Structure 1
Amino acid sequence: MATQVEVQRPKLFAFVLMIGGFMGLFSETALNMALTDIMADFQIEAALAQWLTTGYLLTMACMVPISAYLTKWFSTRTLVFAGLILSLVGVISGALAPNFGVLLAGRVIQALGTGLLLPIMITVLMLIFPLEKRGAVMGIMGLVITAGPAVGPTLAGIIISASSWHFIFWISALLYIVVLCIALTTVENVAELTRPRIDIISILLSTLSFACLIFALSSMGTASLTQWIVWVALVVGIISLIVFTLRQFSLNEPMLNLRVFKYPMFTLGALLVFLVILCILSTGILLPLYLKGALLFSSVIAGLILLPGNAVNLLLSPVVGSLFDRYGARYFCIFGFATMFIATLIFTLTISTTTPVWIIICAFMLLFVGISMVMMPAQTNALNQLPQALYADGSATITTLIQVGGSAGTAIAIAIYTNHMQQVTAAKAQLAPEAIVSSGIQFTFIFICAITVIGFICALFIKKQKQV
């Protein structure tokens, strides 16, 4: 039976971690809206500018699994302050960057901080709140994980239209300073330090596997799978991941205890979270392309059109979290994936160059109704099955899956979209560019719709576990 760790100010402690995590996830997608401005300022090509996003994802993907080690070697307070300070140094470097190299270095430093904060956030929340409040708190945390990358482009578009891309970093820096000040009196040590033997081979395999997988998935959106750099990275990533997994099961003190997957409801919950993130990130990149490329809205207007959906997520996530404590995950996940299916089916059937904007707004809101009902219940139900000693490993595993799922969703969606547009262009060269974009987006939503069907089927197998 897990025991609650008493802290003096649990709500402020949670606030520090959630804002730190939100800022890191917000930064993951915020610069997407600024890439054209950065390309003009530093006189660089799109392929190089894209490394501001790819490099961020790569660094986080490498850092998150290692964090499971760090939580067993360093105190909670040390790691939280390290994460916040690294993030602050990163955004200040980005704001002051005189050239692209310094800007990219700043992004990498911030990603290191975010990669520390996210797993710690999940672990700490599982420890400092009692079982009867865990659902509500994890609901708010689910909002942080989904809202950060979702609202990044919207807020960034507004900031850029009002000033310049530098202020994305300055606003982030101001928030990090505020959070650091609050952390001074609220963050306490809660995790037990076991200081296991450090396995360098596991660290190298972990870094190689996740770096190669994220790189390959990110590259698939802009490069063909037949290019050697893509498939070599994919093959190396898969082989390294298999070797890493086998090694973890052979060690008495593994770097990341993958025995969490021996708990059926954890495995199922982690899969559902992965599928939801696939849907969020693929939709998040497709709809701006559609609104700007087919309906010809500006970046700011496109961002504002998507705001009601994010508002639904903001309102529903805490509500679902509080109800989860009473009803469990099964019905929420079943109903949530059914709702996501209806929303994506609406997109699949209605997207065109003349689609009324209210349909897009309503379907996107409906999509986030479903997402809000799946994200937190699936994750909390998964972690609830684990014994307390495995919380850090479970949270690091799920956070890693979120990063891989986000990259996979973006890459697969763009790959399908680009391939279909090329086919349509070759077959119907007379079509207007707006119609070609619309056709590509509509076809890609078939993939997202299929993901929701898989999620719905998986949700049928959820069982309410005895909480540990």
Structure 2
Amino acid sequence: MNLHLQNVKRTPIMVALMTGAFVATLNETLLGNALPVLMNEFQVGATTIQWLTAAYLLVVGALIPVTALIQQWFTTRQLFFISMITFLIGTIVAALAPTFMLLLVGRVVQAIGTGLIIPLLMNTLLMIYPAEKRGSIMGILFLIFTFAPAIGPTLSGIVIEALDWRWLFYIVIPITLLSFIIGYFYLVNVTELTKSKVDILSIILSTLGFGGVVYGFSATGNGGWSDPQVYWPIVIGSLALILFVVRQLRISNPILELRTFKFPMFSLSIILLIIVMMSMFATTTLLPMFMQSVLLVTAFQSGLTMLPGSVVNGLMSPITGKLFDRFGARIIIIPGLLIVSIALYLFTRFTLESTTLQITITHCLLMIGVALVLVPVQTYGLNQITSEYYPHGSAIFSTLQQVAGAIGTSLFIATMSARSRSHLAQSTDSNDVTQQLTASVAGYSDTFMLGFIISIIAVVVSLFIRKKQVN
């Protein structure tokens, strides 16, 4: 930590930034229980409606790499106000949207604000706190990053049951204004401006790459992997990402310093983060759809069903931060991943007779595992790099966290849609309601099995974590 930042009043800065980050990350999943309602409202299918979540995560993920560079052009205060104003505009547009496309536009504008605030928060905390306190601070930070998205489906269920879906955006407006006011009075500048040259081509390649891959995965639910609408975006996106990587390694002012990956344990941490975020965001989106479309419960009931898991996750995040400071990474991350794997396997066993209590218990188990992994794995990864890489390291984590959520959501929903149709096609009477529900259950089961297999890979990877930390 720089000497001139030692006397900075850290608590007011944390409050200002975390309030903004809370309302921004809450919106990543705030539409969770509203998706079935919005499908009826705008007459669109599951693979279309999921873009309200996937596009949000994708835009955040595509924008975050640029923020490492943006933070060299704008002060902490300037970037905070820009992000909050942008987020507020997007919220208002979404709240008043008369069509699906305009609602999607509002979500994208919201995501731009979110993409600015998340890395600003992470980099600022890395700058003002010493390494020996980062575990605890990251625990509090992930109380925001995981608890806010986790309570999104619950909150949306309650709001949808009592009010119109537009209130999901109306209630966000005063919280955003509160964040703006706190920031105005308490936020100070903690970064130094260097105004490095902006490489437009890198930004284009990054956006095209992540966008193409996520779009391709999301389209698999319509035509399968053999559909040109699936494989061409993935191919083009993958090529763009390869060119992006090559360019970042060759230019003198990369928007994302990929040499951060020269630290092996940082790279390993990234792999684990991607897998866990795919599982968490996909499950957060799938469970409300399963409960409302298969078990036929209301949005309010599905929201309450997921509330205990959200609370458990929020309570666990600060605790795991302290456990990391005391015991290190391995002893927390490996059991956490095993718990995630067990929960995902239990999801594959759900049937038409499953109860909301079963879902609540399994979801709680999943969120405990997620909490045990996310805080330690990110703190551990950032502790493996030197201080000059902090802005880029936090940007990489934030970028891939959001992109993984977008890909996970798209891939899992597309898989669920495709597998459900496949099972229904094999039924004796595709018009029979019972057989339709049975096919849907089988589709969800296949999807969670995919998540289980991916989580087992994460368990194997976690065995290579070294006990010693670099910083």
Q: Give TM class, smaller chain.
A: over 0.9
Percentage of pairs with the same residue: 37
1:108 corresponds in structure 2 to 108
* One-letter amino acid matched to 1:388: S
Deviation at 1:426, TM superposition (A): 2.5
User: Aligned match of 2:446 in 440, 443, 463?
Assistant: 443
Q: How does 1:270-349 map to 2 (within 5 A)?
A: 270-348=270-348
Q: Is the 8 A contact 1:21 1:118 kept in 2?
A: yes
Two-structure CA RMSD over aligned residues (Å): 2.2
Distance in 1 of aligned mates of 2:48 and 2:291? 25
- How many angstroms apart in 2 are the aligned matches of 1:169 and 1:134? 33
Give the C-alpha shift of residue 424 in structure 1.
2.0
Secondary structure of 2:194's aligned partner: coil
* Structure 2 counterpart of 1:437, one-letter code: S
Structure 1 residue 466: Cα displacement: 3.6
Per-residue deviation, 1:49:
5.5
Q: Which residue identity does 1:462 align to in structure 2? A: I
- Seen in structure 2, the aligned counterparts of structure 1 residues 14 and 327 have a Cα distance that, compared at 3 Å, is same
1-side partners of 2:39 and 2:444: how far apart? Answer: 26
- Who is 2:151 aligned against? 151
Q: Which amino acid aligns with 2:207?
A: T
**Measured at CA, do residues 45 and 353 of structure 1 come closer, stay the same or move farther in structure 2, by a change above 3 Å?**
closer
Q: Are 2:54 and 2:409, in contact at CA under 8 Å, matched by a contact in 1?
A: no
Tell me what 1:393 maps to. 392
Please say which of residues 94-103 and 197-206 is displaced more in the overlay: 94-103
Distance change >3 Å, CA 352–CA 105, structure 1 → 2: closer
Distance 1:111 1:238 in 2: 23
| Structure 2 letter corresponding to 1:355 | S
Residue 120 of structure 1 deviates from its aligned partner by 1.1
Task: Name the aligned partner's letter for residue 392 of structure 2.
Answer: D
Cα displacement (A) at 1:381: 0.4
Counterpart amino acid of residue 192 in structure 2: E
8 Å CA contact retained: 1:279, 1:409: yes
Higher mean C-alpha displacement, 11-20 vs 269-278 = 11-20
Unaligned runs of 5+ in 1: none
The answer on whether the counterparts of 2:91 and 2:172 sit within 8 Å (CA) in structure 1 is yes
1:93 has 2:93 as partner: yes
Whether the 8 Å CA contact 1:61–1:214 is kept in 2: the answer is no
Paired with 2:240 and 2:65, the residues of 1 have a C-alpha distance of 14
CA drift at 1:189: 1.4
CA distance 1:356–1:89, shift in 2 (3 Å): closer
User: Helix, strand or coil for the counterpart of 1:335?
Assistant: helix
* 1:37-116 correspondence runs (5 A): 37-38=37-38, 45-46=44-45, 51-97=51-97, 102-116=102-116
Query: Contact 1:4 / 1:129 at 8 angstroms: preserved in 2?
Result: no
Q: Which whole-Å CA distance do the structure 2 matches of 1:102 and 1:447 have between them?
A: 33
Q: List aligned pairs for 1:427-442, cutoff 5 A.
A: 427-430=426-429, 432-442=435-445
Asked if structure 1 preserves the Cα contact closer than 8 Å seen for 2:143 and 2:315, the reply is no
1-structure distance, mates of 2:48, 2:422: 27
Aligned partners of 1:4 and 1:128 also within 8 Å: no
Q: What is the DSSP-based 3-state SS (H/G/I as helix, E as strand, rest coil) of the residue aligned with 1:161?
A: helix
- CA-CA distance at 1:37 after TM superposition: 4.9
Q: 1:62-86: CA deviations, max 9, x gaps? A: 2111111101222111111111111
Structure 1 residues 62-461: aligned runs within 5 Å: 62-97=62-97, 102-348=102-348, 350-430=349-429, 432-461=435-464
Secondary structure in 2 aligned to 1:29? coil
Distance 1:359 1:100 in 2: 34
* Compared CA separation, residues 28 and 289, structure 1 to 2 (3 A): same
Change (3 A) 1:414 1:102: closer
Deviation at 1:38? 5.0
Cα offsets for 1:318-351 (capped at 9, x unmatched):
1111121111111100110111122222223x31
CA contact (8 A) 2:160 2:300 kept: no
Structure 2 counterpart of 1:436, one-letter code: A
How much has 1:4 moved relative to structure 2?
Answer: 8.1
Aligned 8 A contact 1:263 1:385 in 2: yes
CA distance in structure 1 between the partners assigned to 2:305 and 2:292 by the alignment: 11
Q: What's the secondary structure of 2:29's corresponding residue?
A: helix
1 CA distance for matches of 2:291 and 2:37? 20
Structure 2: which 5+ runs fail to align? none
Contact 2:32/2:288 (<8 A) preserved: no
Of stretches 363-372 and 352-361 in structure 1, the one that deviates more from structure 2 is 352-361
Change (3 A) 1:162 1:406: same
Deviation at 1:172, TM superposition (A): 0.8
CA offset at residue 362 of structure 1? Answer: 1.5
Tell me the matched-pair count: 466
